[in-house]
């Protein structure tokens, strides 16, 4: 059976594989996977296309994209004026006086001047000499400063509200049933998170064990106790796949009653957890692990900065901390150093990656772009979570080989070849003459750490990596240099972790895993990998828009920058201490007859030469806030 459907393109991965949503009321939010096919027309995320879908026994066996089609254009606008007959709106972020009119049927009495809304342009205006549109949705509480995430929510069809049946289900959750659990409420267990975090997944505790060993306890919010399999809440959480963290707000995977309250490991609140007790020897080698259900009360909610300040002062107590809590932080730091050494020895990738953070004023206006370096306190939690995740993978593998593994495959040969061509001497020889391992990459990073090429080399090695994803077959994790790895530590914000929790609970209760998971795990892994990519795209694009908005007031300012990518049509440059990225098209480079070397990624003219790693002086020519793009103009080489 073959049917014709309209599809909305949601995601296109690095290999050209496409995830799309079927536009049909009977098939609400049904997503389909379309493998790359060079015969398909060129498409982009957000396109609407017509397709032929072939079914066999009610299962999709083939999808052919026919063509892009016209669809009514939706746009975002701000209410400019309200009269008894019309609502006058201005297209958001448009430099022109781009006004539209909506017939006021008085069904939106709470609408105010300044409110943000989404409208649909009418193909033919029903009012003479005026552009008219239909109102689709009103976004209360948003303004032109904090609205950027909604552009991605619209573009990528991200679900940002919870259905009524899910909310009702959450309201009826029984909080009295505590099961048979180990009582850990007497431990000085702590959480360490970001300043603005509200969903605390994990709490950690370390103590000396039998004089020469360490006992590590990682307790994770027992989300599976509240989110029952195949409930409305579970089905909706699976559909979302993960939480999405925008610079100024979060779209949670679970309703806030769970994500920010019942499941969040708040300070001094009794919470249900799934814990793992890990015994390490004096060198940090794992001797054993044991999973169990537990109750905890977080003794202290630390921020990363709090813990880092304690490390800097060598754990000097200003008498505001309980001695047991301080001892726990000291022990955590001692164990972290041993685990970090183990990670380095086995060849876990040590790339220097910094996060981009947008700073806002009290009114929500973006003020500044900030690059945040990873603190030692971040690494403490990172190493402990990796250890707990590895234990979860080993425990699951004892009972089943079919699990939602977090896999990161070795770099593809073509990416290694591209890296060799671009990285330059002497590192190209190291890559040619040695087996590609994490340790080899780390050696190159270490050798280049004090050179002017360090940022370039770090960027090139990062570009060579495969994309981490979920898969029901264990293919190992190259980046962490681990054979077995799953995600266990963040079930509030990742559906994969919720699956792992359910499997571990089955092992604890029945000493076996329900084989029903095996039937659809592959599809689930594909789906949650897709929702994760969608979240990354949405978060990155939103940050890019805020960056473009911040730099839009800095037109004609000059910045030093570094070339990070060279294409036949121009060069990409990181500028302003690598806070931002912009593009210089070939037309804005010095006039010359340029030849592009694709293998080594450089542009060469008769008088000018551009390659990755070069330092330039650039200025901002223009910004496109809606697209999150910054156009740069070349000034000179540095």
Render pLDDT for 109-125 as a digit per residue (tens, 0 to 9): 788 898 899 888 775 55
Place 70 in a pLDDT band, splitting at 50, 70 and 90.
low
**Same domain (yes/no): 417, 397:** no
Task: Identify whether 487 is part of a domain.
Answer: yes
**Same domain (yes/no): 117, 195:** no
What's residue 232's pLDDT? Answer: 96
Q: Please check whether residue 445 is in contact with residue 352, taking contact to mean a CB–CB distance below 8 angstroms.
A: yes
Looking at the predicted structure, is the pLDDT value of residue 395 above 70?
Answer: yes
Q: Which long-range contacts (CB under 8 A, 24 or more apart) does 600-603 make?
A: 600/421, 600/422, 601/418, 601/421, 601/422, 601/565, 601/566, 602/566, 603/566, 603/568, 603/571
What's residue 96's pLDDT? Answer: 73
Alpha-carbon span 300 to 327, nearest angstrom = 13
Q: HEC profile for 539-594?
A: HHHHHHHHHHHHHHHHCCCEEEEEEEEEECCEEEEEECCCCEEEEEEHHHCCCCCC
Per DSSP, 242 falls in state B
217, β-bridge pairs:
205, 277
Alpha-carbon span 489 to 192, nearest angstrom = 13
> Where a domain ends, among 113, 144, 175?
144
Place 607 in a pLDDT band, splitting at 50, 70 and 90.
very high
Looking at the predicted structure, is the pLDDT value of residue 218 above 80?
Answer: yes
Question: Mean pLDDT over residues 347-354, rounded?
Answer: 90
Size of the chain in residues: 638
Residue entry with tokens 């979060």: 250
Q: Please check whether residue 55 is in contact with residue 61, taking contact to mean a CB–CB distance below 8 angstroms.
A: yes
Per DSSP, 257 falls in state I
What's residue 248's pLDDT? Answer: 85
pTM of the model: 0.84
Separation in Å, CA 416 to CA 122, 267, 410: 51, 47, 10
Task: Identify whether 596 is part of a domain.
Answer: yes
Q: For the chain, give the longest Cα–Cα distance.
A: 87
Q: Please check whether residue 288 is in contact with residue 257, taking contact to mean a CB–CB distance below 8 angstroms.
A: no
Task: Identify whether 61 is part of a domain.
Answer: yes
Identify which has the larger pLDDT, 526 or 131: 526
Domain count, the chain: 5
Tokens of 144: 């032109």
Question: Mean pLDDT over residues 265-275, rounded?
Answer: 97
Question: Mean pLDDT lowest for which of 45-49, 112-116, 209-213?
Answer: 45-49
Pairing of strands 48-56, 59-68: antiparallel
Question: Which CATH number belongs to the domain containing residue 42 in this structure?
Answer: 2.40.50
Q: Coil, strand or helix: which one is 428?
A: helix
What's residue 529's pLDDT? Answer: 96
Identify which has the larger pLDDT, 532 or 56: 532
Task: Identify whether 150 is part of a domain.
Answer: no
**Same domain (yes/no): 274, 359:** yes
Go through 524-557 and write b for each residue having 16 or more CB atoms within 10 A of its CB, e for each that does not.
bbbbbbbbbbbbebbbebbbbbbbbbbbeeeeee
Task: Identify whether 548 is part of a domain.
Answer: no
Domain containing residue 191: 164-405+474-541
| Phi, psi of 85, deg, nearest 5 | -105, -35
> Where a domain ends, among 448, 465, 482?
465
**Same domain (yes/no): 305, 280:** yes
**Same domain (yes/no): 401, 414:** no
Question: Mean pLDDT lowest for which of 56-70, 293-307, 552-566?
Answer: 56-70
Identify which has the larger pLDDT, 376 or 46: 376
Place 615 in a pLDDT band, splitting at 50, 70 and 90.
very high
**Same domain (yes/no): 377, 236:** yes
The alpha carbons of the chain give a radius of gyration, in whole angstroms, of 27
Tokens of 53: 């879908």
**Same domain (yes/no): 95, 215:** no
Residue entry with tokens 């047991």: 324
**Same domain (yes/no): 460, 581:** no
> Where a domain ends, among 486, 506, 541?
541
Q: From the centroid of its chain, how far is CA 266?
A: 24
Q: Please check whether residue 263 is in contact with residue 494, taking contact to mean a CB–CB distance below 8 angstroms.
A: no
The total of other beta-carbon atoms located within 10 Å of residue 558's CB is 14
Q: Please check whether residue 132 is in contact with residue 103, taking contact to mean a CB–CB distance below 8 angstroms.
A: yes
Q: Please check whether residue 409 is in contact with residue 416, taking contact to mean a CB–CB distance below 8 angstroms.
A: no
What's residue 462's pLDDT? Answer: 93
Task: Identify whether 137 is part of a domain.
Answer: yes
pLDDT tens digits, one per residue of 95-104: 677 899 988 8
**Same domain (yes/no): 202, 309:** yes
Task: Identify whether 546 is part of a domain.
Answer: no
Q: Coil, strand or helix: which one is 419?
A: helix
**Same domain (yes/no): 381, 437:** no
**Same domain (yes/no): 629, 559:** yes
pLDDT tens digits, one per residue of 444-498: 999 998 888 888 899 899 999 999 999 999 999 999 999 999 999 999 999 999 9
Which of 241, 236, 244 has the alpha carbon at shortest distance from 19?
241
Phi and psi based region of residue 314 (left: phi greater than 0; alpha: psi -120 to 50; beta: remaining): left
The DSSP secondary structure of 181-225, one letter per residue, reads -EE-TTS--EEEE-TT-----EEEEEEEETTTEEEEEEEEE-HHH
Identify which has the larger pLDDT, 344 or 26: 344
H or E stretch covering 49? strand 48-56
Residue entry with tokens 């090139």: 460
Task: Identify whether 549 is part of a domain.
Answer: no
**Same domain (yes/no): 214, 304:** yes
What's residue 239's pLDDT? Answer: 96
- The span from the first CA to the last CA of the chain, in angstroms, equals 63
Per DSSP, 41 falls in state P
What's residue 126's pLDDT? Answer: 56
Question: Which CATH number belongs to the domain containing residue 124 in this structure?
Answer: 2.40.50.140
What's residue 56's pLDDT? Answer: 87
Which of 583, 549, 545 has the alpha carbon at shortest distance from 564?
583
Question: Mean pLDDT lowest for which of 91-95, 153-157, 632-636?
Answer: 91-95
Alpha-carbon span 212 to 215, nearest angstrom = 10
């Amino acid at each position: 059976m073959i049917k014709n459907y309209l599809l909305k393109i949601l995601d296109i991965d690095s290999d050209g594989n496409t995830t799309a949503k079927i536009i049909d009321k009977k098939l609400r939010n049904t997503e389909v996977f379309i493998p790359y096919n060079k015969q398909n027309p060129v498409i982009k995320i957000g396109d609407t296309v017509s397709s032929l879908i072939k079914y066999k026994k009610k299962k999709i066996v083939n999808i052919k994209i026919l063509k892009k089609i016209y669809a009514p254009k939706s746009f975002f606008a701000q209410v400019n004026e309200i009269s008894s007959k019309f609502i006058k709106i201005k297209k958001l972020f448009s430099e022109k006086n781009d006004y539209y009119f909506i017939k006021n049927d008085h069904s939106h009495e709470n609408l105010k001047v300044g409110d943000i809304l989404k409208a649909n342009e009418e193909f033919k205006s029903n009012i003479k000499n005026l552009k008219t549109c239909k109102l689709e949705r009103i976004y209360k509480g948003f303004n032109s400063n904090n609205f950027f995430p909604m552009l991605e929510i619209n573009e990528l069809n991200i679900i940002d509200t919870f259905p009524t049946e899910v909310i009702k289900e959450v309201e009826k959750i029984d909080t009295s049933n505590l099961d048979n659990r180990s009582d850990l409420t007497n431990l000085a267990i702590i959480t360490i998170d970001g300043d603005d975090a509200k969903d605390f997944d994990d709490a950690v505790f370390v103590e000396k064990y039998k004089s020469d060993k360490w006992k590590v306890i990682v307790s994770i919010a027992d989300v599976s106790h509240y989110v029952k399999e195949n409930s409305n809440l579970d089905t909706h959480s699976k559909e979302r796949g993960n939480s999405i963290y925008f610079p100024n707000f979060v779209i949670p995977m679970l309703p806030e009653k769970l994500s920010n309250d019942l499941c969040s490991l708040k300070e001094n609140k009794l919470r249900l957890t799934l814990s793992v007790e890990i015994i390490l020897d004096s060198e940090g080698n794992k001797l054993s692990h044991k999973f169990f259900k537990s109750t905890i009360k977080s003794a202290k909610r630390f921020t990363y900065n709090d813990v880092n300040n304690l490390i800097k002062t060598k754990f000097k107590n200003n008498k505001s901390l309980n001695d047991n809590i301080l001892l726990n932080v000291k022990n955590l730091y001692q164990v972290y150093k041993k685990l970090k050494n183990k990670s380095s020895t086995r060849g876990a990738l040590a790339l220097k990656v910094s996060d981009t953070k947008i700073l806002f004023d009290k009114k929500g206006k973006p003020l500044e772009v900030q690059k945040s370096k990873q603190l030692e306190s971040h690494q403490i939690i990172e190493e402990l979570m990796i250890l707990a995740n590895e234990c979860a993978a080993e425990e699951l593998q004892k009972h089943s080989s079919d699990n939602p593994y977090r896999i990161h495959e070795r770099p593809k040969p073509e990416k290694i070849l591209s890296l060799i061509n671009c990285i330059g001497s002497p590192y190209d020889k190291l890559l040619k003459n040695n087996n590609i391992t994490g340790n080899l990459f780390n050696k190159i990073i270490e050798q280049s750490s004090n050179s002017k090429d360090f940022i370039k080399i770090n960027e090139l090695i990062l570009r060579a990596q495969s994309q981490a994803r979920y898969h029901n077959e264990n293919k190992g994790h190259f980046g962490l240099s681990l054979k077995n790895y799953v995600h266990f530590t963040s079930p509030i914000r990742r559906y994969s972790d919720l699956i792992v929790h359910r499997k571990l609970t089955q092992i604890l209760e029945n000493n076996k895993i329900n084989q029903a998971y095996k039937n659809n795990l592959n599809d689930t892994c594909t789906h949650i990998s897709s929702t994760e990519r969608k979240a990354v795209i949405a978060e990155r694009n939103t940050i890019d828009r805020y960056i473009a908005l911040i730099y839009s007031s800095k037109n004609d300012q000059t910045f030093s920058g570094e070339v990070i990518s060279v294409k036949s049509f121009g060069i990409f440059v990181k500028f302003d201490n690598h806070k931002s990225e912009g593009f210089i098209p070939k037309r804005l480079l010095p006039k010359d007859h340029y030849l592009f070397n694709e293998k080594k990624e450089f542009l060469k003219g008769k008088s000018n030469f551009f390659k990755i790693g070069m330092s330039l002086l650039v200025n901002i020519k223009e910004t496109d806030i809606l697209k999150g793009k910054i156009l740069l103009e070349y000034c000179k080489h540095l």
